Structure 1
Amino acid sequence: MDHISLPQTWDIDQIIEDLDHQGFCLIDDAYSSEYMQTLVQECTAHLNEFRDAAIQNGVVSNIRSDHILWIDEQLAYAQQHIQALTALSEQLNRAFYFGIREVEAHFACYNAGEFYALHRDNPQGKNGRVVSSVYYLHEQWHADWGGELRLQDKQGEWHIIPPKPNRIALFQSDLLHEVLKSKQQRLSITAWLRSQDSIW
C-alpha cells in the first residue's frame, strides 16, 4: 500500500486497544463537518442509482432490506474516506499482522422500516474480510429513530451502538451483528478491510 496519513483526529492507540480487547471501537467526530456535508451531498445525488442489496446474482435474501451503491473512482469524496481506511489498515497490519491488502466499500441507505438481520461479514473466514467499518453520514439522528448497530463483542457481550452522525464503528468481520429497523432514512458507508482481492 502507498503511504497515506491517518486523520489527526483518529486516536490510533485507542483504536488498537479497543479492537484488541473488545473486537470493536468507535471513532466519533471522524471528519470535519465540511467534508461530511460534501460526502452527504455526493451520496444523496446518487440515490437513484442504488440497488436492492437483498438481490445478489438473481437470488433474493430475506435477511436484509437496505439499498447500496458500490464506491468506485467516480465518487471522489467517498474515495477520501477509503484512503483514510487504507492508512488505518497500515497501522492495523503493524499491530495485528492482519495482512490487509485493500478496502472495498459501498454507500448504504436504510429507508424507514428497513433492516439487516443477525449475520457475520466473514463467516468461517472465507471471504478475506478482516475488519468491518460503518461510517454514519446522515446529518442528524434522534434516539427514537432506531437503526442501531447491535454487536456481540469478543467476550460475548452485546452492545447497542447508535448511528450517531460523523461516527465510525469498526469491528472484527467475524463478530455477530445486525442493523435494527430504522424509522428514518439512514445513510452510511460500509467498508471492509480485506486480506484478499475484492470479489465484487
Structure 2
Amino acid sequence: MDLLAQQDYVIIDQFLNPEQLKNIHSFFEQKQYEGAFDKAAIGQSGSEKVIKEIRGDYTYWLNRDVDTQITPLFSVFEEVKNIINQLMYLSLADYEFHLAHYPKGSYYKKHLDQFDGRRNRMVSMIIYLNKDWQKGDGGELRVYPENNVPIDVEPLENRCVLFRSDVLFHEVLQANTSRKSITGWMLYQSTELPHLM
C-alpha cells in the first residue's frame, strides 16, 4: 500500500493461493465454453459503443449472487477493499469486476479508467491468468507514471497489479497470443449495474 500511495501502482506476484487460482481458471474456461463473453465497449451502460480501433477484448461481468462457483474470489476482493480502506483512507464502498479475454491481435489504446459524469472508480485491479506466458506473447500492460516514462508490466500468471484509476493512464499492448485476466475496480460509491470501461 505504501508503494501504491507513492507511485500510483504496485505489482504483487503469486497473488492467489493455488486452490483459488485453479478455481478461477476452471470458471474462466467454463464461461468461454458457454459463450458468455461479450465484445467489450467503451462508455457507460446505455451509451456504450464497440470501437475496435480502441479496444478488442471480450468481457464477462461477475455477479457475486450468480457466480457462486467463485465465491472465494469475491472474498479476496472484499479483503483488498478493506485493506485499502484501512491503510489509504479512501472510503471505498464496493467493487465491480469482469473476466477479460484478449484474442490474438487485440489491444486497448491508452486511456484512464474514468467516465465523464461518473468518477467513482478509485483503484484498478488486474489478476493475470496467462499460463506459460513468454516474451513475445504480447499483451503487456503499459502504465504512464507522472514522470511519463512508460513501464511495461508482463501479464504473468497469478500476477496482480493495483493502480490509481483516476490518475494513471495505461494501455494494453497488442496480444500475440490469447491473454486472460480478471479486471475490476474498487469503487467510492456502489454501482447498481455493471458499467463498461
CA distance in 2, matches of 1:18, 1:82: 24
RMSD: 1.9
Deviation, structure 1 residue 119: 0.3
CA distance in 2, matches of 1:84, 1:190: 13
For 2:55, what is the secondary structure of its paired residue? Answer: coil
| Larger deviation, residues 181-190 vs 79-88 | 79-88
**Overall identity of the aligned pairs, in %:** 29
2:2 maps to which residue?
Answer: 17
Deviation, structure 1 residue 188: 0.6
- 1:50 partner amino acid: F
Unaligned runs of 5+ in 1: 1-15
CA distance in 1, matches of 2:124, 2:146: 14
- 1:41 partner amino acid: S
2:12 is aligned with 1:27: yes
Unaligned runs of 5+ in 2: none
Any residues of structure 2 matched to 1:37-186 within 5 Å, and which? 37-47=22-32, 48-54=35-41, 57=46, 59-61=49-51, 62-72=53-63, 73-122=65-114, 126-174=118-166, 175-186=168-179
1:12 maps to which residue?
Answer: none
More helix by share: 1
Q: How many residues align?
A: 185
CA distance in 2, matches of 1:110, 1:178: 13
Deviation, structure 1 residue 125: 8.1
The runs of at least 4 consecutive aligned structure 1 residues that moved more than 6 Å come to none
Say if 1:19 and 1:171, in contact at 8 Å, map to a contact too: yes
Q: Kindly tell me: are residues 68 and 155 of structure 1, through their superposed partners in 2, closer, same or farther at Cα, counting changes over 3 Å?
A: same
- 1:193 partner amino acid: M
CA distance in 2, matches of 1:185, 1:54: 19
CA distance in 1, matches of 2:11, 2:145: 13
TM score, norm. by length of structure 2: 0.86
CA distance in 2, matches of 1:59, 1:124: 15
CA distance in 1, matches of 2:131, 2:67: 19
